[in-house]
Amino acid sequence: MLLLVAARWVDPPTTAMHVQRRFESLIDGTPYRKRYRFVPLRQISPNLQHAVIAAEDARFYQHHGFDWHQIHLAAQQDMEGGRRRGGSTLTQQLVKNLFFGTGGSFVRKGAEFTLVPVAELVLGKQRILELYLNVVEWGPGVYGAEPACRLYYRTSARGIGRQQAARLAAILPAPLHRRPERMNSYSAVILRRMAQMNW
């Protein structure tokens, strides 16, 4: 909790996800190059901010850390044997990235359940979004909007266009396996959602 309070003012130098990926590369004996640069939210295009919210957490500004409506839908689809849909919010994903990595233990879920409301209270929506966009994994060793925009589109996070932003947001559910140039259909869905949200 103290680290969350500190994160209100201090940009994290590293995260549990960064450490996990470094450790995995050592175990696998594969090369690892970390690209991570934190930039203020004002230096990240509204196109990318909106695309990520539309793709990952459309009710970001309405919920208080947990989107019970999406959790209910995800559970219902799971019970019906349909395609599984994620119910986690940007706040949940941020807490996971900062402190826990990709593990899925009950202990982690319990700790996450405790920390998410604290993050919402202490950080506020704009800081949560800023932190998330800067620490989330966008590809092997690529963390944050600025390195992602530089790598995939040779532009800054401030200069990313609407179509490019939608393609970047489309890789977030599986950043180690997806590439923006292959995200035609899902990026179109994200663009439609953005339009529906008046963005």
Q: What is the pLDDT of residues 140-177, one digit of tens each?
A: 999 999 999 999 999 999 999 999 999 999 999 999 99
- What pLDDT does residue 46 have? 98
Which amino acid is located at 53 in the chain? I
Domain annotation for the chain: domains and CATH numbers: 2-7+14-26+46-196 (1.10.3810.10)
CA distance 34 to 142: 6
- What pLDDT does residue 102 have? 83
Return the SS3 of 103. Answer: coil
Which amino acid is located at 197 in the chain? M
Given strand 137-139, what is the order of strands in its sheet?
Answer: 35-36, 142-143, 137-139
Lookup: tokens for 50? 């909106």
Local confidence band at 120 (pLDDT 50, 70, 90 cut-offs): very high
Q: What pLDDT, in 10s, does the model give residues 26-43?
A: 999 999 999 999 999 999
142-143/137-139 β-pairing: antiparallel
Maximum CA extent, the chain: 47
Q: What pLDDT, in 10s, does the model give residues 87-104?
A: 689 999 999 999 998 876
Token pair 């090369």: residue: 31
- What pLDDT does residue 83 have? 46
CA distance 120 to 174: 25
142-143/35-36 β-pairing: parallel
Q: 129 or 83: whose pLDDT is higher?
A: 129
CA distance 33 to 140: 8
Report the percent of the chain where pLDDT is more than 70: 89
